Structure 1
Amino acid sequence: MRLLYSLAWWLALPLVLCRLWLRGRQEPGYRRHLAERFGFYAPRPAAPLLWVHAVSVGETRAAEPLIDALLAAYPRHAILLTHMTPTGRATGQALYGKHGERLRQSYLPYDTGWMVGRFLRHFRPAICILMETEVWPNVMAQCRRHEVPVALVNARLSARSLAKARRLSALMTEAARAMSCVAAQTEADAERLRSLGAPHVAVTGSVKFDVTPPQAAIDKGLAMRAQIGGRPVFLCASTREGEEGLILDAWKKTDAAEALLLIVPRHPQRFDEVARMVEERGFALARRSAMGDRPVAADVQVLLGDSMGEMFAYYAACDLAFIGGSLLPLGGQNLIEACAVGKPVLIGPHTFNFAAVSDDAVAAGAAMRIEDADVLAREARRLLADEGRRTAMGGKALAFARQHRGATERTMVLLRKLVRHSQD
């Protein structure tokens, strides 16, 4: 089965390259570092390497407490941080550039045995640490062949993803069995991973709870808020395709003239598209990228968050946050960062990728689930007008974030055994 899978990859490569080049029209980063996607790299660092794979922005941000812990625990080692998307790579540079030579970034090659094998022979990592869900059959097989222990950490697997994996059971079961250990976010995630054949599964919680909002980002958010002025700010964070139109249409129906709607699309290639949506509906628009140090004009109704690496700042600047990806059946996004800044949270009905943490946040009073965009706009309007209720929800959100910390250290207990074993 894996031979057929590899053959399919080789046959699809021309189409993959065409798609990569086309995506590069909107996001030039897709056309950079192309050699790395085929297993060709600059000389490796002299230090022994701990390899962490974080596919895109969310996983890269989530890895921050774990990477800090690894660098502290292994001062003679460097981190090799790999990605699949240029936005993930840019986020990594913004977060980890401070580590200098101790952290090297690269793209993971396409999942063919030859390319992955070349990657492993070049970097010779002491361990492979995969963030969340990124399991590739040939990566797993080549790690086993080159005796590189593999840990899947902050692991999550929804019921929907499990059903998809079972349709490729011959491939995914082999990949799951090649893992040395799994650090799952919840017991439900752990059970699903065990059912695929993953050995040594432990429940450690989510390392995202251990992310500390950087003071510099909070200060930037407060400065942004000062530019906005005293009117209420409703943030729609990490919105996905199809959601912005629903939100704007619903917002237009509400009497929210004194409030500012702040929209931050998840994917930067959609910034201009969302700006057009706003203007087509007759809203007065300002863009974060053009603000500079100037105040936001009083007649601006929608502020577009068209910047990278400022999510904590956006949370600090708002009064209330909606977490995107949840109005439509897209699985939702991480609400922990909003809670960590002490902001009340609204989420839609579709949070299957973050089911446990979303349900727990609602149960704790930190978040409220809404049915659709019209209800979202109405509830946002009510909360923005009720400071006491917002303050109470924000306090519960902060308490919720704090009480779930500690996953990083529990994960490190598992990783220390693998790193020690790999050095024996």
Structure 2
Amino acid sequence: MPFLYTFGIALYSLLIRLAAPFNPKAREWVAGRKGWKNKLSGAFQDTDKIVWFHAASLGEFEQGRPVMEAFRRAFPNHKILLTFFSPSGYEQMKDYVGADVVMYLPADCSRNAKYFVRILKPAMAVFIKYEFWYNYLTELNRSKTPVIFISALFRSGQPFFKWYGGWFRKKLRNINHFYVQDEHSADKLKSIGIDQITISGDTRFDRVADILASKRGNADIEKFCKGYSVLLAGSTWPPDEEILAALPARFPELKIIIAPHEVKEDRIRQLAATMKLNVARFTRDDPASWPDKQVLILDTIGILSSVYRYADIAYIGGAFATGLHNIQEPAVNGMPVIFGPKYDKFREAVALVRDGGAYSINSSSEMLELLDDLLYDTVTYNAACEVSKKYILEQTGATEKILNGIRTYL
């Protein structure tokens, strides 16, 4: 099985290279890994104590970020290497100042893993959530490097829990510790003989609490919102935007801010056409003209989390298509959160709907009816606000549990 796994990795790498001339993300995946040996060998001094953090993509990075930043404060003399598998993570965070070096993770073949671990000589390796790379884990174990997984989630469909997964189960048993998000994940690991587990919770809750405490904002957006009720729609896709298009006519005194999931020019133009209004664009239009518009499109990335503080109600996209995006950021700001029907795989969404802090809708008519209640029934609105914020803040604390564990290895 290890041979078939490594063959599959090699085949995947070949297919990515063949796709690179035609696919921008594949091209970034290939180009970003060129010269990785030179970058790694020149990145650190022989005397450096290095802790390696690895995230698949941007979402996993955001889960690991509170731990990295807490680690930096607790161990200022250690160096941090941050690696990514996908371009969507690396391209957005390649200049992240919380790490000493940021780079792509080379493909998980035996030769790459041996060179990587031998040159890096990490004092510890921290994998975030899902990343199980067989050859890297083999070399880390061979070099007696402590390895932990943080914010980990396990489900029955993963190969470790199948009849053919014995070869990989052996690797998991060599992991020093698993910090898992929930009891179900702990039970799955125990079912295959793994007991080095702590149910720490989800570090994303710590991240959004930190963002709330930072009080970072934008003066121009604050002026746009001043004196109005505000709905902020985050990470939207076209099906979400069709729902939002019905709002301006029904609620002319409602200001609407939309942050689409993709900010390519054709998507922004499509969104503006869908809203059927003379909308303002964050990067294109003079902020002095924004207050005259009802809709503001955030056609950029990196600011959404700091804008929720100006909203009264949040709509989060994805639940009419691929799956719900992050609802923790709006919820921690203490507001009702609305989304589409596909949310059952997201613990916090299920909990907030159950407790009355969030609402799932299936159509524009349901959205209009719900907003009538939230905008004009203060009892319903205030109750939802209280539930949302309380739920998020009660989930914090995972970072400190993980950091205490890290201290035992360094």
TM-score category, normalised to shorter length: 0.7 to 0.9
Q: Name 1:248's counterpart in structure 2.
A: 241
Is the contact made by 2:320 and 2:342 (CA closer than 8 Å) also made in structure 1?
yes
1:359–1:93 Cα change, 3 Å: same
- Please give the alpha-carbon distance, in whole angstroms, between the structure 2 residues aligned to 1:325 and 1:72: 35
Contact 2:256 2:294 in 1 (8 A): no
Structure 1 counterpart of 2:336: 344
The Cα of 1:153 is off from its aligned counterpart by: 0.5
Residues 136/312 of structure 1: CA separation in 2 closer, same or farther (3 Å cut): same
1:395 matched residue in structure 2: 386
Contact 1:343 1:398 survives alignment (8 Å) = yes
* Counterpart position of 1:206: 202
Change (3 A) 1:168 1:390: farther
Q: 1:274 to 1:195 in 2, by over 3 A?
A: farther
C-alpha distance in 1 between matches for 2:277 and 2:163 = 46
- The answer to whether 1:191 aligns with 2:187 is yes
The alignment's TM-score, normalised by the length of structure 2, stands at 0.85
CA 1:116–1:250: 2 relative to 1, 3 Å: same
Which 10-residue stretch deviates more, 373-382 or 57-66?
Answer: 373-382
Unpaired segments of 5 or more residues in structure 2?
A: none
| SS of equivalent residue, structure 1 residue 50 | strand
Q: CA deviation at 1:393?
A: 2.0
Q: Does the Cα contact within 8 Å between 2:336 and 2:357 map onto a contact in 1?
A: yes
**Deviation of 1:281 (Å):** 6.0
Match of 2:142 among 127, 130, 145: 145
1:65-80, aligned counterparts within 5 Å?
A: 65-80=66-81
Determine if the alignment matches structure 1 residue 131 to structure 2 residue 128. Answer: yes
Structure 2 CA distance for partners of 1:310 and 1:87, relative to 1, 3 Å: farther
CA distance in 2, matches of 1:14, 1:23: 14
The Cα of 1:208 is off from its aligned counterpart by 1.6
In the alignment, structure 1 residue 383 sits paired with structure 2 residue 374:
yes
Give the Cα separation in 2 of the matches to 1:167 and 1:76.
Answer: 45
3-state secondary structure, aligned to 2:231: strand
Structure number having the greater helix percentage: 1
The corresponding residue for 1:16 is 16
Does the CA-based 8 Å contact 2:52-2:82 persist in structure 1?
yes
Between the aligned partners of 2:260 and 2:300, the Cα distance in structure 1 is 10
**SS of the counterpart of 1:206?**
coil
**Could you tell me which of 307, 318, 325 is aligned with 2:318?**
325
1:25-424 alignment runs, 5 A limit? 30=29, 33-35=32-34, 41=40, 43-46=42-45, 47-92=48-93, 96-97=96-97, 99=98, 103-158=100-155, 161-162=157-158, 166=162, 169-170=165-166, 172-195=168-191, 198-211=194-207, 212-214=209-211, 218-221=215-218, 223-239=220-236, 244-254=237-247, 255-268=250-263, 270=264, 272-279=266-273, 282-291=276-285, 293-296=287-290, 298-301=292-295, 303-328=296-321, 330-355=322-347, 357-371=348-362, 374-417=365-408, 419-420=409-410
Contact between 2:80 and 2:101, CA under 8 Å: does it hold in 1? yes
Q: C-alpha offsets along residues 294-345 of structure 1, whole Å, 9 cap, x if unaligned?
A: 34153444x33222221222312322112333233x3433322222222321
The letter for the 1-side match of 2:251 is: A
Count residues in correspondence: 405
Post-superposition Cα deviations, 1:192-216, rounded to whole Å, max 9, x if no partner, equal 3434554412211111222234479
Q: Computing the radius of gyration over CA atoms, which structure comes out larger, 1 or 2?
A: 2
Deviation readout 1:361-399 (Å, 9 max, x if unpaired): 334433233345653454245423445533332233222
What is the DSSP-based 3-state SS (H/G/I as helix, E as strand, rest coil) of the residue aligned with 2:217?
helix
CA offset at residue 410 of structure 1? 1.3
Q: Percent identity?
A: 22
What's the secondary structure of 1:220's corresponding residue? coil
Moved more, 131-140 or 272-281: 272-281
- In structure 2, the CA distance between the partners of 1:111 and 1:31, relative to structure 1 (3 Å rule), is closer
Note the residue ranges of structure 1 that are not aligned, 5 or more in a row.
Answer: none
Aligned residue identity for 2:11: L
Query: Distance between the aligned counterparts of 1:276 and 1:64, measured in 2?
Result: 33
1:318 aligned partner, one-letter code: A
TM-score if structure 1 supplies the norm length?
A: 0.83
Checking the alignment, whether the CA contact within 8 Å between 2:134 and 2:168 is kept in structure 1 is yes
Could you list the per-position Cα deviations for residues 114-158 of structure 1 after superposition, in whole angstroms to 9, with x for gaps in the alignment? 122222122111111111122222222232223222211111234
Judge which range, 271-280 or 115-124, deviates more. 271-280
| Whole-Å separation in 2 of the counterparts to 1:183 and 1:21 | 40
User: For residue 397 of structure 2, what is the amino acid of its counterpart?
Assistant: G
Do the aligned partners of 1:39 and 1:119 also contact (CA within 8 Å) in 2? no
Q: Distance in 2 between the 1:75 and 1:37 partners? A: 26
Amino acid aligned to 2:328: I
Give yes or no for contact 1:204–1:411 (8 Å, CA) kept in 2: yes
